A = this chain, B = another copy of it.
Amino acid sequence: MPHFAERMKTMEKSARIIRNLFGAMGDPGLISFSGGAPAKEALPIDIVREIAEDVLRSEKRGVEALQYGSVQGLPDLREVVVRELLSPKGIDAKAENILITSGGLEGINLLCQLFIDPGDVILVESPTFVHCVEIFEMFQAKCISVAMDENGMIPEDLEEKIRRYDPKVVYVIPTFHNPTGRTLSLERRKKIAEMGSRYDVVILEDDPYRDIRYSGEDLKPIKAFDETGNTVLANSFSKIFSPGSRLGYVLASDPVIEKLLDAKSATNSHTSMLPQVICAEFFKRGHYPAHHRMICDLYRTRRDVMLKSIDLFFPAGTKRTFPDGGLFTWVELPGSIDTTELLADATSDPDVKVAYVAGEGFFIEGGGMGKNCMRLSFGAVPPEKIRIGAERLGKFLRFRV
């Protein structure tokens, strides 16, 4: 065969990390804190069935669900985004500025199509979401990391890196950050939006966990403070509706949306219609508020059990974050423990059989960063299993410190 394109080489490392992340998932005896999937109890299966039955009874709606649709996405669903997901967060948007994507990640991919030439710099948080780094590497971008603390990306370090590297894009996960669960403070949100405008950089705000907040005070998105269109919001329906539906959206200014339509058209024409029709109806029929309360209660319980179990069973000196929402906590273990090295034992030892994601893979800078860290996802594991899993993992780690 002819040789592969350059971009396929640059993405090899991150692609391998992602494949390893999901390696041990098949074993039914395993308690897995590794995946980022929502709880199966959080999937509105019965409501989806009811809506599907209903819309497919009408010829008009049936044709809408199965025939070609618009590149930009179903008008009804774009209206839902504006009215039910953006307006309550203080963002005053028009449906014309929304593009429906095949999941939140596709929004990130399309924005790279628009802005990234090989060699362009993208600033990312340290640590950051490895799946997006895979996308950035496919576009042959150079990723540079910006320091974080408990309040998210540090604006002073960001400003220094903007000046030094002249990036095209700053990639931020502001709320219940993946992998750390941390949230960017209000003051920093304002500062970052403002820096996007001042330095003419795209602030790519990836905010899929925002809507599952179950404690603390709601914060406006970075996009709410953007006065120049430099902030572009990419979001997902995966955590509030269904990940398998692959539905997401991008909110951007007119000239960016216009180019996004070209890129979307050349990627896959438009997003699958039946999931769009069903998801729009889910909101229009008023199912979201009760569903939202149910999933927030469910994840709050799971988080509380997870944090309490870590505090009880993990080695003395362990630090962990306190997420006010989302699906993850980030654990920093004492001493010179190496979570990458221990993973095979943790998943296979019959007394443990617990999976986590080793911290190292989330740091693009390498050099041993995050070696003593792990991401624990509590979203998809029932509370009683969270306790058992954390106890087993804690004991296992206590012997390794």
Chain A residues engaging chain B, CB cutoff 8 angstroms: 1-2, 4-8, 11-12, 15, 18, 35, 37-38, 40, 43-46, 48-49, 52-53, 56-57, 59, 62-69, 101-103, 105-106, 109, 113-117, 120, 131, 134-135, 138, 168, 200-202, 229-230, 238, 242-246, 253, 255-256, 259, 262-263, 265-275, 278
Residues of B within 8 A of A200 (CB): 1-2
Within the complex, what minimum Cβ distance (angstroms) separates A113 from chain B? 7
* Cα–Cα, bound, A115→B6 (Å): 8
* Cα–Cα, bound, A168→B1 (Å): 9
Residues of B within 8 A of A245 (CB): 66, 272-274
12 CB contacts below 8 A, A to B, read A1-B200, A2-B115, A12-B262, A15-B265, A45-B62, A45-B66, A102-B271, A106-B267, A131-B269, A135-B266, A246-B269, A271-B272
Copies, count? 2
* Cα–Cα, bound, A66→B48 (Å): 9
Q: Is the CB of A40 within 8 A of B63?
A: yes
Taking A230-B1, A262-B8, A274-B274 as contacts, is the C-beta distance between A62 and B37 under 8 angstroms? no
The 5 A-B pairs of least Cβ separation, nearest first, read: A244-B273, A49-B56, A45-B62, A106-B268, A66-B242
- Complex partner residue of A263 from B2, B48, B65, B138, CB under 8 angstroms: B138
Within the complex, what minimum Cβ distance (angstroms) separates A236 from chain B? 10
Taking A40-B63, A115-B2, A266-B138 as contacts, is the C-beta distance between A102 and B272 under 8 angstroms? yes
Residues of B within 8 A of A253 (CB): 1
In this complex, what residue of B is CB-closest to A118? B118
Q: Is the CB of B103 within 8 A of A268?
A: yes
Q: Is the CB of B267 within 8 A of A246?
A: no
11 A-B pairs besides A8-B262, A68-B238, A68-B243 with CB distance below 8 A are A1-B230, A2-B168, A5-B114, A8-B263, A12-B262, A15-B266, A40-B63, A45-B62, A109-B267, A134-B265, A138-B266
Q: Is the CB of A5 within 8 A of B116?
A: yes
